[in-house]
Structure 1
Amino acid sequence: MLTAVAYGLAIAINLLCLLIGARFLLTPYAAAAGYGVPATTDRAYLTIKGVRDGTYGLVGLALLAFAGAQAEAWFLLVAALAPLSDTLIVLRNGGAKATAYGVHFATAVVLLIGSALLFTV
């Protein structure tokens, strides 16, 4: 049962990264507003964020499929730095605390939980 939960959470995390990346590529300004720091220019930077998040999702799925749970666990552990950094970015740029903590910090916590679960299987 724990194995199914660990793998299911890892797959969900990776698919959500792909969806977030796609949103930044397809609707960058709406995605930036959802991120917590609205943007009216700098589409290139929003595209970079989309590519980054999409890449995280693809790498995570590839690790899970081809390298196994331990590799994915390490990946999620290290990847938790991105939403932790996003938390600080939103806070330092006048974004809402609710978004910083409720979206980005919560995402980091979910990544750490997923990592811990995968380390146990």
Structure 2
Amino acid sequence: MGIRLSSTARSKTATPGDLLKALRGWWRCDPAGVAAGGTLPVTLSGYVVAVLTGLERWQRNDAGHHAFPDARLAGYVTDLAAPQITVTGGTDGDRRLAELLLGTRFASHSGGAIAYVPTTGAG
């Protein structure tokens, strides 16, 4: 599952703190499904431009949108033409996920802000 990046978070002047604040929510989504995935790749035009982890806890507002207040920014991309990848993860797992996902292209099926990415089961 991935979320498309908002215009606020796409700004070239956005700091990692700005990105994290913008990406923690408010999303119309199935929060338990997002939390179960453990990783939230954020996409722009199908390319992963940020990776969030730490999604175990969520909040719901009156409009039915959800936020992930404990989300961590594992990494982000600032330029897709000449990718500038910054890994910010504080754990080995977060860093590995960011390195694996950032800058890759996801084929997804979108019905709005949330895009669903097919995965393969562990064999």
Question: Which structure: larger Rg?
Answer: 1
Q: Which has the higher strand share?
A: 2
- By relative contact order (CA 8 Å, sep 6+), the higher-ranking structure is 1
As a proportion of its length, which structure holds more helix? Answer: 1
Give the alignment's TM-score, normalised by structure 1: 0.27
